[in-house]
């Protein structure tokens, strides 16, 4: 029995030495925080920033609104890019298949973005943070949610309307809501946002949504719904808020260090120079698909001659917006591409230039053009043209022969002023001009192709989700 | 089997037994000195035989000449034993010289098999365990011992995914039991369980045996890590007696025996011209003509003038495979010193492998040091330390698929020369006449040298694996063992990309330097009690144990750019542009127990249970039990079998057990926040977003398996047959269950699926001749049928897609069916197009896509199952011939009935932005009158007929037969050796991967660019995108490294 005691002693020693405790198995991740937060104001700041970071995907140079507005319109095509090329070409060709992997990716990105806003809205309700802060955060999240749903409803029509975080099981029960219900939610969100958000001048963190941003977006929503009166009212409020103005020259708007100017209404913030920071990808992605600068251009949104020729001959905006081609080891290659987001000095890491250019989702020129569209008054349009040093609509020198009506003038002005800023296709849809204009340009567009298909995989997962007509 | 102890192999058991029990005997006995010689049946001296005095406490070992000397009483009885021979008891009877001739025993029954936390004689094995000894791989040239086992063990599919030196094979034991979790077997090195261990770190020459636990009842002792089988590696230890010094040297060459036929410059130019002209005419058939000059065409449709005016100047061009592949030499030097006394045994070894790779500039150098020592402090107490230190310097490329050097070289256009007129690599040299081609976006060159010679890389790995143990005999029957083990693994990868890369890459890239380092420390503390006792006819062995294990992995990377020139390649010369470090941990506590019982060494019963707790699993499901039970019946020992003398051995085995699979990400159960930063003005605004849904109920997959085995040896052991049937069901299979994306997530890791593997394994060993000319044949064949029984909610099929290739898993089918369109040839003409259902933009010369669902349209619903990588059966056959000092053997190995995805078809099967193509593409559709071979489509830039979708032409038969190995060796006769200082000298020639019979288009049907799912560090191969597990894409070849043929010549000397 003496031995047994020895053994027990040894065993006990060994057990003690190796820490035989349940806590030995409780290992928290070393390099990731866990999702057990959402308590303090700091926690919410982190979550709010993550919700804003969703903009990087949605407004990615190869994101949904880029494909829709540039590829599906007459502005641009795509050359020589990696991935499933046929899936990418289906946009410009109007041959979108339900199996298109890009469409599915966009669908996922939007709902991820909406989750990131919804989780904040959900968690902040019960959090002990001060009421003013709470309202401000909610307003920002609703602005983002409104923005995302507004894109989605324009792309897909009826979409599942998710306004709270859902479990996997719950999400089987949420089917497509009619467009009208989606728009109601968008309006509700944006009205709340416009009510609670501070004026641009009171924003302390550049890039955060302002009252003007919510109002400008709401104006666009009203325009899209055909409610020009409401649009005019809310846009006029932006106009009268004295928060915004056009910069002196169109070229002043662009450049890696031009950020959050007086003309900017809502702007996505990027930080160049560091591979682990959110750097700007527009420069690289819009470069022709060749690597004469030491990096591969993405060949995305290569400008059509049609867009190039839309500019009036002496329009200074043309050469600020579009390059004619590039010089490849002494040989000039003729291929037009967008240059608004150029950052030639960007540090290159791993074949990527880490550019610093921001991207404006809403800017004052857009607001002014919408205001003219809403109230039929060319004054605001002409502010934009005056900045471009072009004759005003109504002046003798205006190319009236081509753009006889104010509507056509606005269409022309929006296309040139806002070239490759992801507006064109939505503009044409909003004004019911998509089919006539794009058919004339040789696009195989039809009424049903004004909406994207619901991704096949979404319907495989949940058979109760319906498909859009024509797919 | 000696029933008292559990130890490595029988000779060791005998030895230990001797040392243990009888070391003080001399003090008390009235003794004479007895000498003698131990020989085998043929009279050859038998070294290392154990001679012990029965019922006393003395023993010794015969020396190299079989001679022994021992003190014993005049009336004592000597017990003489040696591995592979029947033990004899010889009464001394006052003699002082006793020579003994030993009879070869029924080898297989007395061999000892390592079974985890102990050993068992083969006789007592009740599960399905395969054991391979050193002799079976000693002359093989592979750096990883498991590579030498391919084709040798029934039920163990060892497949070499990439031919680069140092790449471990994919091992699947009895099929695959998981979709999401890792499927690599557990490696146990000298008792230390190591998940996803790289066996290249253990020099095969140091390995005594490799034992494979195939069935769940055997593996259950490893609990939550045993479901994919367990591979136990045991390193050598010296024997008491004269010190043996062994030296060996091997020289080898490797070659690529099977190149892929690619287009030459003329064929490629022909395609290029056709593609551009066809696309140009398609653009506006009414106006555009193939004869239109470049000036009339936009840049996309332009053709270099030289292609039209003087294509002959390019000749046949360059086959880039010839540029990058070479005949590669290898050297392997080994030195080991082993021996010891009755108290202390040791083995020191040193080995240096210097292997050039067949790929330019690639190499693999390994220095392996080992020191194994065991020392007996007293009768009751012994200590030991096994220490292995391995250093590997290597440069290994070409294994990462389509963007790695081998695949890129295949894709490079043949028109370019190896060097331009300036001695630079490519047409991007601004001063070269070739520079004019930069105007054409669809010309491609990724010169292999731009990646191998102008991109400097070296990987350094350092591994130390140490196990210290102490055994204490509390009583003669009860042993306590405690051990502490540590495995420390560090790597450092330095790389520097030279500015502009010699003008040979697809672009002029700035210089860039990168350093990556990783660190892994795994420690294990293990304590076991073993009780071993014989009660008359009853024998009992009980094991109880407790172990704690923890691992931490760290990874860091730093990148610099903006180097002023290429003179200094360390990062200080540039500007650091990015850096990161991460770490993860896991821990595990285990309790284990096993009882082995036998009656009359005839009826065997084993039962085990293990309880594992792991940090990886949900807080609510952290602990799991893994029980097993097995039984064996040695029928041939029954009295009623006495008359069946032609049967030497007949045994029936049955087992049932449960093992788990814990190979999921370390924090798979936890909802993690991922960095999702935003920016405000010029500062970073830190953000955190929820990355996945938590699952606090996450637990291991549980595999239960029934195994029934029959072993038969008959006709004086001339024929040996072993047959196994197994049926395993994996429950709680981990799946990333799809959830509707509107939740913000696509999947949630959940225990929900169920999978089945059933199979039959046959082993047949025959001695075709006996006597001086010995011919033996070992044949094995195994069949496995894998079937998914249950998936997520509604049994929704799971489809993963990576680079167009889709694999679909559905209930009732084997896991990961290839899923795509069926191509029934090529449309001959417009009439044929119009007559058949077709994709809207289809033109003559495009693929005929089968309307699988018959709805008259070609849609995604027409995709169907195109095949599966899992073979119907695998087989191996080895023939050994020996005559006098000569040994000759050859092995054929094969896999039959599986399919492989040749994903390279996506680049090499049709136009893909100007890449080179298979030579067979020259047999394409050119016109209605010249429709080609029906497999290759019309040349065009736009892909109008779903060519680039995953379809049946990408799927090929993966069946193959391989002449895997040929060996010839000659041992110099003793008569000759006696005049030299050497005791044994042997020369041999060994050839691996000698010949392949396969219809596969690319390099090798064993190639797969995606490896087994592996959530720990050090995975090899391409990573699937999204949350698709890599293992789902096993059998997809997206650019691979050929398996070289290697021939080595070696010399081994003992002195």
Alpha-carbon gap, residue A149 to A54, rounded angstroms: 13
Pair of tokens at residue A253: 């708007």
The last residue of a domain, from among A357, A385, A420: A357
Q: Is B801 on the interface with A (CB under 8 A)?
A: yes
In this predicted structure, what is the pLDDT of residue A330? 65
Q: Tell whether B26 is covered by a domain.
A: yes
Mean pLDDT of B955-959: 96
State what percent of residues in chain B have pLDDT above 90. Answer: 65
CB within 8 A of B939, min separation 6: which ones?
B271, B274, B275, B278, B911, B924, B926
Q: Is A25 on the interface with B (CB under 8 A)?
A: yes
Pair of tokens at residue B1055: 């002195």
Q: Tell whether B224 is covered by a domain.
A: no
Distance from CA of B667 to the nearest CA of A (A): 7
Q: Tell whether A315 is covered by a domain.
A: yes
Q: Tell whether B878 is covered by a domain.
A: no
Alpha-carbon gap, residue A53 to A47, rounded angstroms: 10
Mean pLDDT, all residues of chain B: 89
**pLDDT higher than 80, residue B108:** no
CATH code, domain carrying A128? 1.25.40.890
In this predicted structure, what is the pLDDT of residue A35? 64
Q: Tell whether A471 is covered by a domain.
A: no
Q: Is A14 on the interface with B (CB under 8 A)?
A: yes
Helix or strand or coil: residue A107?
A: helix
Judging contacts by C-beta atoms under 8 Å, the chain B residues touching residue A108 are 741, 746
Range of the domain at A329: 282-357
Alpha-carbon gap, residue B661 to B230, rounded angstroms: 11
Alpha helix (H) residue ranges in B760-836:
830-835
Pair of tokens at residue B898: 């599986």
Please say whether the beta carbons of B655 and B215 come within 8 A: yes
Alpha-carbon gap, residue B303 to B272, rounded angstroms: 8
Pair of tokens at residue B214: 């195939």
Residues 36-55 in A contacting B (C-alpha not used; CB under 8 Å): 36-37, 45-53
Strands B773-790 and B603-614: unpaired
**pLDDT higher than 80, residue B811:** yes
In this predicted structure, what is the pLDDT of residue B314? 95
Same domain assignment for residues A441 and A352: no
Residues 498-517 in B contacting A (C-alpha not used; CB under 8 Å): 506-510, 512
Same domain assignment for residues A175 and A303: no
DSSP state of B149: G
Half-sphere exposure for B453 (CA within 13 Å, toward CB): 13
**pLDDT higher than 60, residue B106:** no
Mean pLDDT of B4-23: 39
How many domains does chain A divide into?
2
pLDDT tens for each residue of B978-993: 788 888 899 999 999 9
In this predicted structure, what is the pLDDT of residue A136? 95
Nearest to A301 by CA among A68, A57, A56: A68
State what percent of residues in chain B have pLDDT above 70. Answer: 95
CB within 8 A of A460, min separation 6: which ones?
B796
Interface touch A27/B670, C-beta < 8 Å: no
B1027 backbone dihedrals φ, ψ, rounded to 5°: -100, 20
In this predicted structure, what is the pLDDT of residue B416? 96
Please say whether the beta carbons of A132 and A197 come within 8 A: no
How many domains does chain B divide into?
1
Question: Which of B587, B674, B676 lies at the smallest CB-CB distance from A27?
Answer: B587
Same domain assignment for residues A64 and A152: yes
Interface touch A35/B441, C-beta < 8 Å: no
pLDDT tens for each residue of B575-633: 998 888 999 999 999 999 999 999 988 999 999 999 999 998 888 888 999 999 999 99
In this predicted structure, what is the pLDDT of residue B130? 92
CB within 8 A of B460, min separation 6: which ones?
B391, B392, B393, B491, B492, B493
In this predicted structure, what is the pLDDT of residue A213? 97
The secondary structure of A218-280 as a DSSP string is: HHHHHHHHT-HHHHHHHHHHHHHTT-----SSGGGG-STT--S-TTEEEEE----S-TTS--B
**pLDDT higher than 60, residue B510:** yes
**Which run of H or E residues covers position B1053?**
strand B1045-1054
Alpha-carbon gap, residue B725 to A331, rounded angstroms: 70
Alpha-carbon gap, residue A90 to A88, rounded angstroms: 5
Please say whether the beta carbons of B419 and B432 come within 8 A: no
Closest residue in B to A55 (Cα) is B678
In this predicted structure, what is the pLDDT of residue A169? 80
| Test mutation, A3, A12, A32, chain B, max B CBs within 10 A | A32
* Band of residue B362 on the pLDDT scale cut at 50, 70, 90: very high
In this predicted structure, what is the pLDDT of residue B978? 79
Distance from CA of B869 to the nearest CA of A (A): 24
Q: Tell whether A440 is covered by a domain.
A: yes
The ipTM estimated for the assembled molecules is 0.90
Q: Tell whether A412 is covered by a domain.
A: no
pLDDT tens for each residue of B179-217: 888 899 999 999 999 998 999 999 999 999 999 999 999
Distance from CA of A309 to the nearest CA of B (A): 17
Pair of tokens at residue A20: 């035989």
Interface touch B480/A7, C-beta < 8 Å: yes
In this predicted structure, what is the pLDDT of residue B45? 79
In this predicted structure, what is the pLDDT of residue B17? 36
Q: Tell whether B247 is covered by a domain.
A: no
Q: Tell whether A191 is covered by a domain.
A: yes
In this predicted structure, what is the pLDDT of residue B9? 43
Nearest to B528 by CA among B472, B609, B485: B472
**Which run of H or E residues covers position B455?**
strand B455-473
In this predicted structure, what is the pLDDT of residue A329? 63
List of chain A residues with pLDDT < 50:
1, 16-19
CATH code, domain carrying B73? 2.60.40.1120
Alpha-carbon gap, residue B794 to A463, rounded angstroms: 11
Distance from CA of B182 to the nearest CA of A (A): 20
In this predicted structure, what is the pLDDT of residue B18? 37
Q: How many CB pairs under 8 A join A and B?
A: 284
Alpha-carbon gap, residue B508 to A351, rounded angstroms: 10
Distance from CA of B472 to the nearest CA of A (A): 9
Distance from CA of B202 to the nearest CA of A (A): 27
**String of b and e for B370-387 (b: at least 16 CB within 10 Å)?**
bebbbebeeebebebebb
Q: Tell whether B231 is covered by a domain.
A: no
Quickly count: other Cβ atoms within 10 Å of residue B337's Cβ.
Answer: 15
Burial tier of A269 (Cβ tally within 10 Å: 0-12, 13-18, 19+): buried
Alpha-carbon gap, residue A300 to A289, rounded angstroms: 8
**pLDDT higher than 80, residue B239:** yes
Alpha-carbon gap, residue B38 to B47, rounded angstroms: 8
Please say whether the beta carbons of B174 and B155 come within 8 A: yes
| Test mutation, B298, B743, B795, chain A, max A CBs within 10 A | B743
In this predicted structure, what is the pLDDT of residue B524? 96
* Band of residue B1021 on the pLDDT scale cut at 50, 70, 90: low
Range of the domain at B93: 10-105
Quickly count: other Cβ atoms within 10 Å of residue B27's Cβ.
Answer: 7
CB within 8 A of B252, min separation 6: which ones?
B141, B329, B330, B331, B332, B355, B990, B1046, B1047, B1048, B1049
Please say whether the beta carbons of B503 and B429 come within 8 A: yes
Q: Is A258 on the interface with B (CB under 8 A)?
A: no
Mean pLDDT of B630-653: 90
Please say whether the beta carbons of B80 and B90 come within 8 A: yes
| Test mutation, A8, A30, A100, A351, chain B, max B CBs within 10 A | A30
In this predicted structure, what is the pLDDT of residue B708? 96
Q: Is A23 on the interface with B (CB under 8 A)?
A: no
Q: Which residue has the higher pLDDT, B277 or B66?
A: B277
pLDDT tens for each residue of B518-575: 999 999 999 999 999 988 889 999 999 999 999 999 999 999 988 999 999 999 999 9
Distance from CA of B425 to the nearest CA of A (A): 16
* Band of residue B746 on the pLDDT scale cut at 50, 70, 90: confident
Alpha-carbon gap, residue A73 to A78, rounded angstroms: 12
In this predicted structure, what is the pLDDT of residue B1012? 85
Q: Tell whether A175 is covered by a domain.
A: yes
Interface touch B742/A31, C-beta < 8 Å: no
The secondary structure of B81-112 as a DSSP string is: E-TTB--EEEE-TT-SB--EEPPB--HHHH-E
Taking each helix axis as running N to C, give the angle between helix A228-240 and helix A364-375, from 0 to 180 degrees, rounded to the nearest 10: 140
The last residue of a domain, from among A315, A341, A357: A357
Interface touch B474/A6, C-beta < 8 Å: yes
Q: Is B295 on the interface with A (CB under 8 A)?
A: no
Helix or strand or coil: residue A127?
A: coil
No. of helices (H) and no. of strands (E), chain A: 20, 10
Q: Tell whether A177 is covered by a domain.
A: yes
Residue B579 forms beta bridges with which residues?
Answer: B558
In this predicted structure, what is the pLDDT of residue A3? 54
Please say whether the beta carbons of A347 and A273 come within 8 A: yes
The last residue of a domain, from among A331, A357, A383: A357
Tokens 């890449």 found at:
B915
Q: Is B475 on the interface with A (CB under 8 A)?
A: yes
B590 backbone dihedrals φ, ψ, rounded to 5°: -135, 145
Same domain assignment for residues A310 and A185: no
> Going along A99-244, which residue ranges are E strands?
159-160, 176-177
CB within 8 A of B381, min separation 6: which ones?
B470, B471, B472, B473
> Going along B915-982, which residue ranges are E strands?
955-957, 960-971
Q: Tell whether A425 is covered by a domain.
A: no
pLDDT tens for each residue of B256-307: 999 999 999 999 999 999 999 999 998 888 999 999 998 888 878 899 999 9
Q: Tell whether B53 is covered by a domain.
A: yes
Q: Which residue has the higher pLDDT, A103 or B884?
A: A103
Q: Is A171 on the interface with B (CB under 8 A)?
A: yes
Nearest to A103 by CA among A79, A84, A117: A84
Nearest to B589 by CA among B524, B684, B513: B524
In this predicted structure, what is the pLDDT of residue B653? 95
Q: Is A300 on the interface with B (CB under 8 A)?
A: no
pLDDT tens for each residue of B705-734: 999 999 999 988 899 999 999 999 999 998
Pair of tokens at residue A315: 């329009």
In this predicted structure, what is the pLDDT of residue A82? 54
In this predicted structure, what is the pLDDT of residue B20? 36
Residues 176-215 in A contacting B (C-alpha not used; CB under 8 Å): 205-208
* Band of residue B225 on the pLDDT scale cut at 50, 70, 90: very high
Pair of tokens at residue B407: 């695949």
């Amino acid at each position: 029995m003496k031995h047994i005691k020895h053994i027990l002693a040894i065993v006990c020693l060994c057990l003690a030495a190796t820490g035989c405790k349940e806590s030995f198995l409780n290992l928290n991740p070393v390099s990731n925080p866990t999702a057990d937060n959402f308590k303090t104001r700091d926690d919410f700041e982190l979550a709010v920033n993550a919700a804003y970071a969703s903009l990087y995907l949605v407004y990615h140079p190869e994101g949904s609104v880029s494909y829709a507005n540039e590829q599906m319109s007459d502005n641009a095509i795509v050359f020589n890019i990696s991935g499933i090329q046929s899936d990418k070409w289906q946009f410009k060709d109007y041959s979108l298949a339900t199996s298109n992997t890009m469409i599915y990716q966009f669908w996922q990105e939007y709902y991820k973005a909406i989750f990131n806003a919804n989780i904040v809205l959900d968690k902040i309700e019960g959090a002990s943070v001060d009421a003013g802060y709470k309202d401000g955060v909610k307003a920002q999240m609703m602005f983002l949610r409104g923005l995302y749903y507004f894109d989605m409803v324009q792309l897909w029509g009826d979409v599942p309307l998710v306004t709270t975080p859902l479990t996997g099981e719950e999400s089987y029960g949420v089917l497509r809501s009619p467009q009208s219900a989606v728009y109601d939610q968008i309006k509700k969100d944006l009205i709340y946002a416009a009510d609670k958000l501070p004026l641009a001048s009171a924003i302390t963190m550049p890039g955060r949504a302002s009252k003007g941003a919510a109002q400008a977006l709401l104006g666009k929503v009203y325009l899209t719904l055909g409610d020009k009166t409401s649009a005019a009212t809310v846009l006029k409020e932006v106009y009268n808020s004295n928060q915004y103005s056009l910069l002196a020259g169109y070229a002043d708007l662009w450049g890696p260090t031009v950020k959050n100017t007086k003309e900017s209404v809502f702007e996505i913030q990027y930080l160049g120079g560091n591979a682990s920071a959110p750097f700007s990808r527009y420069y690289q992605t819009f470069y022709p698909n060749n690597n004469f600068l030491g990096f591969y251009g993405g060949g995305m949104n290569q400008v059509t001659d049609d867009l190039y020729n839309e500019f009036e001959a002496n329009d200074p905006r043309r050469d600020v917006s579009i390059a004619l081609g590039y010089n490849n080891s002494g040989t000039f290659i003729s291929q037009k591409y967008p240059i608004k987001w150029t950052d030639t000095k960007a540090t290159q890491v791993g074949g990527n230039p880490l550019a610093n250019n921001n991207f404006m989702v809403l800017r004052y020129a857009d607001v002014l053009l919408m205001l003219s569209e809403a109230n039929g008054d060319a004054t605001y349009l002409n502010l934009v043209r005056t900045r471009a040093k072009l004759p005003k609509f109504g002046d003798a020198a205006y190319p009236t022969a081509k753009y006889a009506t104010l509507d056509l003038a606005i269409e022309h002005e929006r296309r040139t002023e806002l070239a490759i800023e992801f507006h064109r296709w939505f503009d044409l849809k909003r004004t019911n001009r998509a089919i006539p204009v794009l058919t004339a340009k040789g696009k195989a567009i039809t009424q049903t192709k004004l909406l994207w298909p619901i991704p096949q995989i979404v319907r495989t997962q949940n058979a109760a989700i319906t498909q859009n007509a024509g797919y | 089997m000696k029933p008292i102890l559990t130890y490595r192999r029988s000779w060791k058991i005998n030895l230990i037994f001797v040392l243990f029990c009888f070391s003080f005997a001399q003090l008390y006995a009235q003794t004479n000195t007895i000498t003698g010689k131990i020989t085998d049946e043929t009279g050859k001296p038998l070294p290392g035989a154990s001679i012990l005095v029965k019922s006393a406490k003395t023993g010794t070992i015969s020396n190299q000449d079989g001679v022994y000397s021992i003190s014993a009483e005049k009336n004592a009885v000597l017990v003489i034993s040696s591995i592979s021979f029947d033990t004899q008891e010889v009464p001394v009877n006052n003699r002082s010289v006793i020579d003994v001739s030993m009879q070869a025993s029924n080898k297989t029954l007395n061999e000892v098999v390592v079974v985890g936390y102990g050993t068992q004689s083969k006789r007592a094995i009740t599960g399905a365990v395969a054991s391979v000894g050193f002799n079976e791989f000693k002359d093989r040239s592979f750096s990883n011992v498991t590579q030498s086992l391919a084709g040798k063990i029934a039920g163990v599919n060892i497949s070499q995914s990439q031919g680069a030196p140092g790449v471990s094979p994919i091992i699947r034991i009895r099929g695959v039991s998981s979709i999401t979790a890792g499927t690599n077997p557990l490696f146990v090195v000298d008792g230390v369980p190591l998940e996803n261990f790289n066996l290249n770190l253990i020099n095969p020459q140091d390995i005594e045996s490799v034992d494979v636990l195939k069935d769940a009842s055997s593996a259950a002792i490893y609990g939550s890590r045993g479901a994919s089988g367990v591979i136990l590696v045991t390193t050598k230890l010296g024997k008491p007696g004269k010190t043996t010094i062994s030296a060996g040297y091997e020289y080898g060459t490797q070659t690529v025996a099977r190149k892929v036929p690619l287009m030459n410059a003329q064929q490629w130019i022909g395609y290029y011209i056709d593609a551009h002209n066809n696309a140009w005419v398609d653009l506006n058939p009414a106006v555009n003509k193939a004869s239109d000059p470049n000036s009339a065409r936009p840049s996309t449709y332009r053709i270099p003038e030289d292609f039209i005016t003087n294509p002959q100047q390019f000749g046949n061009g360059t086959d880039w495979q010839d540029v990058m592949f070479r005949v590669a030499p290898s050297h392997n030097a080994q030195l080991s010193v082993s021996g010891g006394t009755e108290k202390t045994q040791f083995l020191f070894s040193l080995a240096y492998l210097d292997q050039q790779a067949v790929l330019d500039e690639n190499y693999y150098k390994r220095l392996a040091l080992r020191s194994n020592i065991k020392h007996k402090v007293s009768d009751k107490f012994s200590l030991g330390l096994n220490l292995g230190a391995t250093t590997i310097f290597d440069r290994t490329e070409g294994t990462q698929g389509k963007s790695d050097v081998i695949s890129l070289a295949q894709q490079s256009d043949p028109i370019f020369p190896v060097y331009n007129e300036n001695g630079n690599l490519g047409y991007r040299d601004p001063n070269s006449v070739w520079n004019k081609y930069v105007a054409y976006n669809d010309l491609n060159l990724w010169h292999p040298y731009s990646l191998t010679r102008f991109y400097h890389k070296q990987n350094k790995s350092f591994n130390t694996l140490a196990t210290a143990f102490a055994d204490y005999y509390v009583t003669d029957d009860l042993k306590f063992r405690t051990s502490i083990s540590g495995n420390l693994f560090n790597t450092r990868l330095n790389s520097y990309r030279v500015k502009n890369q010699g003008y040979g890459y697809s672009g002029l890239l700035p210089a860039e330097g990168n350093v990556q380092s990783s660190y892994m420390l795994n420690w294990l503390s293990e304590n076991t009690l073993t009780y071993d006792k014989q009660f008359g006819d009853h024998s009992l062995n009980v094991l109880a144990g407790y172990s704690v294990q923890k691992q931490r992995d760290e990874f860091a990377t730093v990148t610099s750019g903006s180097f002023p020139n290429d003179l200094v390649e360390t990062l200080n010369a540039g500007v650091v542009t990015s850096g990161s470090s991460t770490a993860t941990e896991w821990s595990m506590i285990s309790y284990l127990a096993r009882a082995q019982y036998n009656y009359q060494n005839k009826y065997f019963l084993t039962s085990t249970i293990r309880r594992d707790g792991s940090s990886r699993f949900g807080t609510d499901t952290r602990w799991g039990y893994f029980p097993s039970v097995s039984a064996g019946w040695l029928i041939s020992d029954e009295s009623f079998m006495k008359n069946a003398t032609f049967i030497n051995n007949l045994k029936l085995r049955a087992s049932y057990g449960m093992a788990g699979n814990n190979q999921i990400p370390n924090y798979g159960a936890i909802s993690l926040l991922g960095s999702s930063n935003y920016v405000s003005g010029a500062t970073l605004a830190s953000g955190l977003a929820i990355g996945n849904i938590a699952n606090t109920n996450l637990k291991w997959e549980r595999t239960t398996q029934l195994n029934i085995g029959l072993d038969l040896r008959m006709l004086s052991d001339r024929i040996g047959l072993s047959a196994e049937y197994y049926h395993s069901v994996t429950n709680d299979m981990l799946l990333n269950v799809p959830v509707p994306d509107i939740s913000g997530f696509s999947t949630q890791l959940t225990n929900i699926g169920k999978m089945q593997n059933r199979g039959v394994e046959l082993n047949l060993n025959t001695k075709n001749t006996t006597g001086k000319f010995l011919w033996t044949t070992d044949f094995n064949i195994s069949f496995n049928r894998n079937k998914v029984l249950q998936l997520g909610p509604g049994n929704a099929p799971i489809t993963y897609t990576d680079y167009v290739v889709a694999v679909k898993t559905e209930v009732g089918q084997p896991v990961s069916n290839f899923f795509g369109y069926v191509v029934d040839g090529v449309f001959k003409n417009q009439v044929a197009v119009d007559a058949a259902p077709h994709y809207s933009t289809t033109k003559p010369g495009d693929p005929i896509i089968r309307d699988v669902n018959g709805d008259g349209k070609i849609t995604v619903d027409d995709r169907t199952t195109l095949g599966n990588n899992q073979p119907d059966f695998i087989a191996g056959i080895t023939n050994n011939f020996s005559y006098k000092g000569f040994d000759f053997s050859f092995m054929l190995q094969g896999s039959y009935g599986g399919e492989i995805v040749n994903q390279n078809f996506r680049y090499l099967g049709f136009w893909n932005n100007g890449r080179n193509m298979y030579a067979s593409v020259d047999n394409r559709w050119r016109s209605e009158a010249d429709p080609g071979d029906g497999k290759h489509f019309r040349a065009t830039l736009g892909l109008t007929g779903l060519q680039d979708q995953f379809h049946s032409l990408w799927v090929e038969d993966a069946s193959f037969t391989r002449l895997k190995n040929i060996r010839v060796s000659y041992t110099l006769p003793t008569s000759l050796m006696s005049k030299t200082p050497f005791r044994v000298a042997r020369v041999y020639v060994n050839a691996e991967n000698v010949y392949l019979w396969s219809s596969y288009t690319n390099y090798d049907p064993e190639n797969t660019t995606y490896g087994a799912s592996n959530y720990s560090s050090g995975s090899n191969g391409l990573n699937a995108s999204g949350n698709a597990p890599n293992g789902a894409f096993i059998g997809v070849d997206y650019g691979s490294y050929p398996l070289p043929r290697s021939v080595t010549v070696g010399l081994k000397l003992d002195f």
